[in-house]
Amino acid sequence: ETGVTQSPTHLIKTRGQQVTLRCSSQSGHNTVSWYQQALGQGPQFIFQYYREEENGRGNFPPRFSGLQFPNYSSELNVNALELDDSALYLCASSYERDSIFEQFFGPGTRLTVL
């Protein structure tokens, strides 16, 4: 069983730039969620995709957007980067099982915005 992978591991950008983060779901999982974790905080939900459709969104501006592909891999895009976007970005995949999603997390991408 292949685990959740994310790329890149680390990334440094400057204000105003755009970034794309990638996530490969665990084999057999059709749902992916993205989270932002600032230093010293718990993860904050950005959005979730289920079978290529957005299935819920947290309190993040439209410059945070996503995609899920037919193979259930996913991208998180952030436009017009701001200093406060510096954080660890986590994706987690899951498969609906008895109406409870158990999520399996990737190692994260650490984004630094200068």
Q: Which is nearer to another protein, 41 or 77 (CB)?
A: 41
Cβ of 7: how many Cβ atoms within 10 Å?
13
Q: Which residue, 16 or 56, has its beta carbon nearer to another protein?
A: 56
- Rounded to a whole number of angstroms, the minimum distance from the CB of residue 16 to another protein is 26
Spatial distance between the Cα atoms of 76 and 67, rounded to a whole number of angstroms: 7
Please give the residue ranges that form the binding site for another protein (CB under 8 A): 31, 33, 35, 37, 40-45, 48, 56, 58, 88, 90, 92, 94, 96, 99-105, 107-108, 110
Q: Check if the beta carbon of residue 97 is closer than 8 Å to that of residue 30.
A: no
